[in-house]
């Protein structure tokens, strides 16, 4: 039996998370680049998409499973890679991994995850995808690639939209750094959020676990600007598994990546955490789908907050959709039960939306059935 957590929407989860998390952590998760105007526009672009109901089509049997590479995902949405998830709740990374294992959906494991990549691959029952940041001169990066291969990862997600870490004023105001320092300001913040502090700090501050006690280090703020097309070609030549490129918004870049052998592109504005002026990613998705043709694998993340939003992204051309912040809000709000509650809400919303549209499967959305 699922413990009731009061989560009936991702906004419920966000509201509860805001109460429970220290300001520093909430703003690290919730914040976006610059004035956050881009984040607002990105949400509005998704909200403004209309889907037209169709009637009398017998939609009593609806299928949420979708084919993703060589696997059948039980849900049409998965877990986007996020750094330092354990700040939202102790063992958040493991909760996500277990969910991925249960529902056979991909679990993006960040370069700066708070649990090491080997543990998460195991806990996810092999569903983890390793997300790679190129950084510095690339030597540490290639060691990580080798380590992911040795661990048994089959899919690598190269994130390309962080040439430099975006300026997120809310995060900067609280002095958020990894590993974080507990100065007077943070002390007051943590003291005012004892539930989080008792459960999280007592377990030891979350760390960037892929770098613990290893012979290479990762500075979150180090420039990642040296990556170029040759970097991608080298990686493609080196990595034998699936290679997904995350953070593409321009059709020209998408076409070039497709030509150079990327197995899929994840259209994303990084949840508008990088460039306030970025176009709404959902609009970029439609343009990129147009450019790459109907059969090239396109994934989507950024601003998805409900099952209706998931359906909209499929209608705009996605083959699979990933969620970011809402999953962290849910775990901050109610731990593993909160995560499962929100996950179930999303699945129900997708199913109900399909019913409204007179559809019984996600693939029909790609045929323009909803518009």
Ligand X SMILES: Cc1cc2nc3c(=O)[nH]c(=O)nc-3n(C[C@H](O)[C@H](O)[C@H](O)COP(=O)(O)O)c2cc1C
Give me the active site residues, please: 270
Q: Please tell me whether residue 303 binds ligand X under the rule CB under 6 A.
A: yes
Residue from 124, 207, 268, 341 touching ligand X (CB under 6 A): that is 268
- Angle formed by the axes of helices 251-259 and 281-292, to 10°? 50
At residue 257, the 3 state secondary structure works out as: helix
Residue from 144, 292, 318, 323 touching ligand X (CB under 6 A): that is 323
The binding site for FMN comprises 81-83, 110, 131, 159, 246, 268, 301-305, 324-325
The CB density around residue 191, as the number of other CB atoms within 10 Å, is 10
Q: Do 236 and 262 contact (CB within 8 A), yes or no?
A: yes
Stretch that binds ligand X, among 146-154, 165-173, 265-273, 292-300 (CB under 6 A): 265-273
Q: Give the CB-nearest residue to ligand X.
A: 324
Long-range contacts of 288-293 (CB under 8 A, 24+ apart): 288/248, 288/249, 288/250, 288/251, 288/254, 288/317, 289/316, 289/317, 290/251, 290/317, 291/251, 291/252, 291/254, 291/255, 292/251, 292/254, 292/255, 292/258, 292/265
Among candidates 24, 43, 210, which has minimal Cα distance to 135?
210
Stretch that binds ligand X, among 164-172, 183-191, 193-201, 298-306 (CB under 6 A): 298-306
Burial 192-206 (b: 16+ CB within 10 A, else e): ebeebbeebeeeeeb
Residue from 16, 29, 123, 313 touching ligand X (CB under 6 A): that is 29
The binding site comprises 28, 81-83, 110, 131, 133, 159, 168, 246, 268, 270, 273, 301-305, 324-325
Cβ distance to ligand X smaller for residue 103 or 309? 309
Which residue reads 């995808």 in tokens? 129
**In the window 102-161, what residues touch ligand X (CB under 6 A)?**
110, 112, 131, 159
**In the window 194-213, what residues touch ligand X (CB under 6 A)?**
none
Cβ distance to ligand X smaller for residue 83 or 317? 83
Separation CA 115–CA 83 (nearest Å): 10
Number of residues that bind ligand X (CB under 6 A): 21
Whole-number Cα distances in Å, 297 to 9, 107, 366: 29, 17, 12
Residue from 34, 271, 297, 307 touching ligand X (CB under 6 A): that is 271
For residue 234, give both structure tokens.
Answer: 């080298």
Cβ distance to ligand X smaller for residue 109 or 359? 109
Q: CB 176 → ligand X: shortest distance, Å?
A: 10
For residue 226, give both structure tokens.
Answer: 């040296």
Q: Please tell me whether residue 325 binds ligand X under the rule CB under 6 A.
A: yes
Identify the burial level of 222 via C-beta atoms within 10 angstroms of its C-beta, where 0-12 means exposed, 13-18 middle and 19 or more buried: middle
Q: CB 81 → ligand X: shortest distance, Å?
A: 4
Separation CA 23–CA 69 (nearest Å): 39
Stretch that binds ligand X, among 65-73, 76-84, 229-237, 313-321 (CB under 6 A): 76-84
Stretch that binds ligand X, among 64-72, 197-205, 286-294, 301-309 (CB under 6 A): 301-309
Cβ distance to ligand X smaller for residue 77 or 296? 77
Q: Please tell me whether residue 366 binds ligand X under the rule CB under 6 A.
A: no
Q: Please tell me whether residue 98 binds ligand X under the rule CB under 6 A.
A: no
Residue from 27, 301, 309, 336 touching ligand X (CB under 6 A): that is 301
Q: From the centroid of its chain, how far is CA 167?
A: 19
Separation CA 181–CA 84 (nearest Å): 15
Stretch that binds ligand X, among 173-181, 228-236, 300-308, 309-317 (CB under 6 A): 300-308
Q: Which residues bind ligand X (CB under 6 A)?
A: 28-29, 80-83, 110, 112, 131, 159, 246, 268, 270-271, 301-304, 323-325
């Amino acid at each position: 039996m699922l413990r009731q957590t009061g989560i009936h929407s991702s906004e419920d989860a966000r509201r509860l998370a805001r109460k429970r998390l220290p300001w520093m952590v909430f703003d690290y998760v919730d914040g976006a680049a610059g004035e956050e105007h881009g984040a607002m526009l990105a949400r509005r672009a998704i909200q403004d998409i209309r889907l037209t109901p169709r009637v009398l089509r017998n939609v009593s049997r609806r299928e949420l499973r979708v084919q993703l590479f060589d696997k059948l995902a039980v849900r049409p949405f998965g877990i986007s890679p996020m750094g330092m998830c354990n700040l939202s709740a102790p063992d958040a990374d493991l909760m996500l991994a277990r969910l991925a294992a249960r529902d056979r959906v991909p679990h993006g494991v960040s370069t700066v995850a708070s649990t090491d990549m080997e543990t998460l691959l195991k806990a996810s029952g092999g569903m983890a995808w390793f997300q790679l940041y190129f950084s510095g001169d690339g030597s540490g990066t290639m060691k990580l690639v080798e380590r992911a291969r040795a661990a048994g990862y089959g899919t690598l997600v190269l994130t390309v939209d962080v040439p430099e870490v975006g300026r997120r004023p809310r995060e900067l105001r609280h002095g958020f750094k990894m590993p974080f320092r507990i100065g007077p300001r943070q002390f007051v913040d943590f003291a005012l959020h004892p539930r989080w502090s008792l459960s999280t700090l007592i377990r030891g501050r979350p760390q960037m676990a892929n770098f613990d006690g290893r012979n290479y280090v990762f500075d979150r703020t180090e420039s990642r600007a040296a990556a170029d097309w040759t970097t991608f070609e080298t990686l493609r030549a080196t990595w034998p598994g699936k290679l997904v490129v995350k953070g593409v918004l321009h059709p020209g870049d998408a076409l070039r990546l497709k030509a150079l052998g990327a197995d899929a592109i994840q259209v994303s504005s990084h949840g508008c955490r990088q460039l306030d002026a970025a176009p709404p990613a959902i609009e970029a998705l439609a343009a990129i789908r147009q450019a790459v043709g109907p059969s090239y694998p396109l994934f989507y993340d950024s601003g998805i907050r409900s099952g209706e939003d998931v359906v909209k992204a499929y209608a705009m051309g996605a083959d699979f959709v990933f969620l970011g912040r809402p999953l962290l809000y849910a775990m901050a709000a109610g731990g593993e039960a909160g995560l499962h509650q929100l996950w179930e809400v999303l699945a129900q919303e997708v199913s109900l939306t399909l019913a409204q549209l007179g559809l019984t499967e996600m693939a029909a959305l790609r045929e323009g059935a909803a518009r």
